Amino acid sequence: MSENNEIKDMKLDESMLEEVTGGVGAASVGVRDIGPYWVRTTARSGLKCRLAPNGKVLKTYEYGHKLKINGITTDGEWYRLLCYHPEGGTCYGFIYKKYTERI
C-alpha cells in the first residue's frame, strides 16, 4: 500500500499529518533547540499554548504558571514546549514569548 493510500485510509489530511509528525504547520516556521529553561506567564488573561505559532489553541495557562521551554522559533517570537495534546499523547506546543519572563 502506498503512503498516500495509508493517509487516506486513516482519514488524515496533510495539515493533520504535519501536526502528528511534529511539524509547525503551513507557515514552515523554523525552530532551534534551546535550554531547557523555565519561564513564567505574564499575560493577565492567560497565555494560549498553540499547536503551531498562531495555530490551534491546545490550552490556556493562567497568569504566573511556570513552564519548561526547550526551543524558540527562528524569528524569536515563540517558545516551544512539550505538552499534552487534548486528544491524547504529547506534542510540541508554542507560547508567545512576549508574555513570559525567564525565571
Does any domain span residue 22?
Answer: no
Task: Tell me which residue of 37, 99, 40, 33 sits closest to 71, measured CA to CA.
Answer: 33
Q: Is residue 34 part of a domain?
A: yes
Q: Is 42 a member of any domain?
A: yes
pLDDT in tens, 6-29: 334 444 445 544 544 444 444 467
The domain total for the chain is: 1
> Domain holding 76: CATH number?
2.30.30
And the C-alpha cell for 51? 499547536
Q: How far apart are CA 30 and CA 58, in angstroms?
A: 20
pLDDT, tens digit, 9 for 90 and up, residues 28-83:
679 999 999 999 999 999 999 999 999 999 999 999 999 999 999 999 999 999 99
Structural domain boundaries enclosing 67: 27-102
